[in-house]
Structures are given as structure tokens and as C-alpha cells.
């Protein structure tokens, strides 16, 4: 019988696993199963160029339909509901059963729900899929005031895109600063300043308790009773990994499907990659679930190799990006546990600077805003573990010429 690889979830990780299987000469069927009826598409533009109307829907596709045809990758619409590991079969929502020799779980993540009263009113949105953005764009067409709940990257990018469309925008953040989970206070203050300059009102310490309106949302109610008028609302308060399939199949899950450096799960026939996976990272000495396109791609390449009986370890340094207005933020590494910050440039005045994160004198991460060379320098320095000279990091003129 022809060997068959099933890839469950057809987005960044799934598309890369399918392509990687052919690169590694998988000699058999590849079935890419996805429950969004579209070619695998890029998610990052959803809160950026695509929402702002600067990108056509066709440009979202990761690869054209001809790629999958040429590579003999069968795309199948539908949701996988269960995995029968003893019979080596999966069952889809329409009742079909497919046998498998290998599986890659690339089921990604879904928005974390606020679960506040009134959340099901018309005009309250989450932003994860292209369908979500279509609905938001319809709401944005009539202008008015958008209230964004959550001051993380997705919330702030959405604010910038909606400003570009001419809407009035308010961001409500429950914590004391935006991006509080992921950046230093200096970087949070920088984004707060820039958004204010661009006309976005950011309110911190603003916990949303409910949404009010008659069929359609009209107000956001804060803890304490204050009511904020809204024409529509977008909630962006993080995501949860889609792990039900793995859990019910008895695969080890701990805030994500647990994988090793070769994307192997607790079942030797099953790999996992992307937002649904929790990776035991030797570099950090602990398990981390990353939510980024580069990590999904890196893990997917390792998964494809493993499925073909080859070895490719997930080794690349994690990195991320965020685009807001004219600001291109590139982040190298993870800043968990930093004990010192060195800032190059003046975030209180400029629109280009770098915030370096050190632990015990070692560079562990950097947020580089409109400083692409600092980003390359940081990636190399962190990866090599080389000593850093604080004075060199601070010097604004050392790489500043490269900043745009």
C-alpha cells in the first residue's frame, strides 16, 4: 500500500510540512486537511496590510493552487475529529475515515475568549481568520469608532490599520501598560507615544466587564461602571492552542502538544508543529509554545524530516516582527528573565531605536525598531553567545546609518 502522510491543519505550519515532505522525498500520498475553505494563507497581514486595504486577497495565499497540484499534495477541506491510533486512522467531521502512516498535527491556535456578557452582540469581533477580517472590514466601511480590547501586538497593529482607514480608535488594556507581557517598559511607552501621535487613544488599567447594546454593540462597560461608546469592537487578548485532538488521542499535551527538537510527539508516528506545539527548547532549558510564523516554519521543517526518517533539529533562534504605521519592529530571541536593558537611540523622541535585553551580561534578546542592522547583529550575537560590549550597544551612531 502506498504510504500516506496526513497533515492536519492547513496554514503556515501545515503548508510547510506538506512542502517539506516532498523535499525530503516522501514517496507516497500527502493529504493536507484544513477546516478553513481556502488555500493556506498568511495570517500576519490580517491585522496589517490586508485589514488596511493595502493587500489583495489573492496575495494572502502562501503558495498558489498549482504548487500543491505539481507537488501532488492533495488538499482536503474538513475538520479532523478524532485519531484512532490503534487502527492508524483519522475520522473527519463528515464521517470519512482516512488511514495514515504518519501524521503532522498543525492545528494552530484559536482566540482566547473574554467571555464577557454581551460578547455575542453584532459588531463584536475576534481576529484570527480571513473571514474575521472580511466581517471587520464591512463594519469599518461605515466609519465611526472602533474599540479594541487588548494592547498586545495584534491589538496595536489593528489600531494602526483602522486609523489608516480613517476610524476613531480606542485601545483598552487591562494591565498597566501595553505589550506588558512581551517588552520592556521603554518599548511599551514608545508605542503608547506613537499611537497617541497617530490619534489612537490608549487606556490602560481598563478592564472590560461587558458589552451593551440592542442586538448590536453600542457600548463597552468597564469594571467600575464607565461606559465607552463603540460602533464595533475587536477583542485581541491572546490565543489558546488547539490541542483537543491530541488530548483525546492520548498524546502528551502541556500548554500545547509536547514536542522535542525533532518535532516528535509522544507517539512515534505523529509529529506536531506551529502554534499548537510546545517545544522543549534546550537553549532556554524549558518548554515554550511560540506563536510566530518563523517558528512554525522551523518546526514544520523538522517535522517533515522526521516523518521521512531523517534528522533535522529545530535550532534557529526564535524571532518575530510587528508592523505598525511606518514602524518595523524586529525581535531577536526571547527576553524572559532579563536583568538589564541597554537602549540605543531615544525612544521618547525618535522612531528608530533598539532595546537590548541582557541576562548576567549576556545578550538574550533585542527589540529593533526601524533598525534592521541591529536586528541582524543581535541574531548573530545571541546565537553565537559572544560577549557584548555595553558601550557598543549603547552607541547610537554605530549602526544608526542602517536604520531605514
Ligand X SMILES: Cc1cc2nc3c(=O)[nH]c(=O)nc-3n(C[C@H](O)[C@H](O)[C@H](O)COP(=O)(O)OP(=O)(O)OC[C@H]3O[C@@H](n4cnc5c(N)ncnc54)[C@H](O)[C@@H]3O)c2cc1C
Residue span binding ligand X (CB under 6 A) among the ranges 36-44, 333-341, 352-360, 376-384: 36-44
Q: Which of residues 264-323 bind ligand X (CB under 6 A)?
A: 274-275, 291-294, 296, 320-322
Nearer CB in complex with ligand X: 80/364: 80
Residue span binding ligand X (CB under 6 A) among the ranges 40-48, 161-169, 195-203, 306-314: 40-48
213 φ/ψ sector (left φ>0, alpha ψ -120 to 50, else beta): left
Binding mask 332-351 for ligand X (x = CB under 6 A): --------------------
In whole angstroms, the minimum distance from the beta carbon of 15 to ligand X comes to 8
Among 20, 34, 345, 347, binds ligand X (CB under 6 A): 34
Residue span binding ligand X (CB under 6 A) among the ranges 2-10, 136-144, 162-170, 218-226: 2-10
Measured CA to CA, the distance from residue 81 to residue 326 in angstroms comes to 43
Q: Does residue 126 interact with ligand X by CB under 6 A? A: no
Nearer CB in complex with ligand X: 213/238: 238
Q: Does residue 245 interact with ligand X by CB under 6 A? A: yes
In whole angstroms, the minimum distance from the beta carbon of 397 to ligand X comes to 29
Q: Does residue 46 interact with ligand X by CB under 6 A? A: yes
In whole angstroms, the minimum distance from the beta carbon of 85 to ligand X comes to 15
SS3 for the chain, per residue? Answer: CCCEEEEECCCHHHHHHHHHHHHCCCCCEEEEEECCCCCCECCHHHHCCCCCCCCCHHHHECCCHHHHHHCCEEEEECCEEEEECCCCEEEECCCCEEECCEEEECCCEEECCCCCCCCCCECEEECCCHHHHHHHHHHHHCCCEEEEECCCHHHHHHHHHHHHCCCEEEEECCCCCCCCCCCCHHHHHHHHHHHHHCCCEEECCCCEEEEEEECEEEEEEECCCCEEECCEEEECCCEEECCHHHHHCCCCECCCEEECCCCECCCCCEEECCCCEEEEECCCCEEECCCCHHHHHHHHHHHHHHHCCCCCCCCCCCEEEEEECCEEEEEEECCCCCCEEEEECCCCCCCCEEEEEEECCEEEEEEEECCHHHHHHHHHHHHHCCCCCHHHHHCCCCCHHHCC
Nearer CB in complex with ligand X: 67/321: 321
In whole angstroms, the minimum distance from the beta carbon of 294 to ligand X comes to 6
Q: Give the contacts of 346 (CB within 8 A, at least 6 positions apart).
A: 353, 396
Q: Does residue 13 interact with ligand X by CB under 6 A? A: yes
Cell numbers representing residue 385 in the block:
553567545
In whole angstroms, the minimum distance from the beta carbon of 391 to ligand X comes to 32
Nearer CB in complex with ligand X: 296/365: 296
Residue span binding ligand X (CB under 6 A) among the ranges 30-38, 167-175, 179-187, 337-345: 30-38
In degrees rounded to 5, what are phi and psi of residue 217?
A: -65, 135
Q: Which of residues 141-160 bind ligand X (CB under 6 A)?
A: 154
In whole angstroms, the minimum distance from the beta carbon of 190 to ligand X comes to 18
Q: Does residue 73 interact with ligand X by CB under 6 A? A: no
Nearer CB in complex with ligand X: 191/320: 320
Q: Does residue 9 interact with ligand X by CB under 6 A? A: yes
Measured CA to CA, the distance from residue 186 to residue 343 in angstroms comes to 9
Among 4, 6, 7, 12, binds ligand X (CB under 6 A): 12
Q: Does residue 106 interact with ligand X by CB under 6 A? A: yes
Q: Does residue 327 interact with ligand X by CB under 6 A? A: no
Cell numbers representing residue 99 in the block:
488511514
Q: Does residue 108 interact with ligand X by CB under 6 A? A: yes
List the beta bridge partners of residue 34.
77
Residue span binding ligand X (CB under 6 A) among the ranges 39-47, 96-104, 262-270, 335-343: 39-47
Residues near ligand X (CB under 6 A): 8-14, 33-36, 43-44, 46-47, 79-80, 106-109, 127-128, 154, 242, 245, 274-275, 291-294, 296, 320-322
Amino acid at each position: 500500500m502506498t504510504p500516506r502522510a496526513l497533515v492536519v491543519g492547513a496554514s503556515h505550519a501545515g503548508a510547510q510540512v506538506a512542502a517539506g515532505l516532498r523535499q525530503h522525498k516522501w514517496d507516497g500520498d500527502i493529504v493536507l486537511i484544513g477546516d478553513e475553505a481556502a488555500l493556506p494563507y498568511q495570517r500576519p497581514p490580517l491585522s496589517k496590510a490586508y485589514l488596511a486595504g493595502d493587500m489583495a486577497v489573492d496575495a494572502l495565499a502562501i503558495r498558489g493552487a498549482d504548487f500543491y497540484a505539481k507537488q501532488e499534495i492533495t488538499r482536503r477541506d474538513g475538520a479532523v475529529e478524532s485519531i484512532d491510533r490503534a487502527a492508524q486512522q483519522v475520522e473527519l467531521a463528515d464521517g470519512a475515515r482516512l488511514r495514515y502512516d504518519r501524521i503532522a498535527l498543525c492545528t494552530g491556535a484559536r482566540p482566547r475568549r473574554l467571555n464577557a456578557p454581551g460578547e455575542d452582540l453584532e459588531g463584536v469581533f475576534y481576529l484570527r481568520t480571513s473571514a474575521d477580517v472580511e466581517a471587520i472590514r464591512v463594519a469599518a466601511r461605515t466609519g465611526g469608532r472602533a474599540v479594541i480590547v487588548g494592547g498586545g501586538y495584534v491589538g496595536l497593529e489593528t489600531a494602526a490599520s483602522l486609523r489608516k482607514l480613517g476610524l476613531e480608535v480606542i485601545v483598552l488594556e487591562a494591565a498597566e501598560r501595553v505589550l506588558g507581557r512581551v517588552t520592556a517598559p521603554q518599548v511599551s511607552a514608545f508605542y503608547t507615544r506613537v499611537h497617541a501621535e497617530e490619534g489612537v487613544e490608549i487606556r490602560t488599567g481598563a478592564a472590560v466587564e461587558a458589552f451593551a447594546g440592542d442586538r448590536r454593540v453600542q457600548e463597552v462597560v468597564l469594571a467600575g461602571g464607565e461606559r465607552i461608546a463603540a460602533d464595533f469592537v475587536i477583542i485581541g487578548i491572546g490565543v489558546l492552542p488547539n490541542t483537543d485532538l491530541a488530548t483525546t488521542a492520548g498524546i502528551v499535551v502541556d500548554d500545547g502538544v509536547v514536542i522535542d527538537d525533532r518535532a516528535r510527539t509522544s507517539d512515534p508516528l505523529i509529529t506536531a508543529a506551529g502554534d499548537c506545539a510546545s517545544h522543549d527548547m534546550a537553549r532556554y532549558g524549558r518548554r515554550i509554545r511560540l506563536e510566530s510564523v518563523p517558528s512554525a516554519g522551523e518546526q514544520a521543517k523538522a517535522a517533515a524530516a522526521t516523518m521521512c526518517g531523517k534528522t533535522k533539529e529545530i535550532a534557529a533562534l526564535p524571532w518575530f516582527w510587528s508592523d505598525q504605521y511606518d514602524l518595523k519592529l524586529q525581535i531577536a530571541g526571547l527576553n524572559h528573565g532579563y536583568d538589564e536593558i541597554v537602549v540605543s537611540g531615544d525612544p521618547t523622541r525618535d522612531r528608530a531605536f533598539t532595546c537590548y535585553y541582557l541576562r548576567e551580561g549576556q545578550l538574550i534578546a533585542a527589540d529593533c525598531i526601524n533598525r534592521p542592522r541591529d536586528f541582524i547583529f543581535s541574531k548573530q550575537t545571541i546565537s553565537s553567545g559572544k560577549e557584548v560590549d555595553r558601550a557598543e550597544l549603547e552607541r547610537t551612531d554605530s549602526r544608526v546609518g542602517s536604520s531605514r
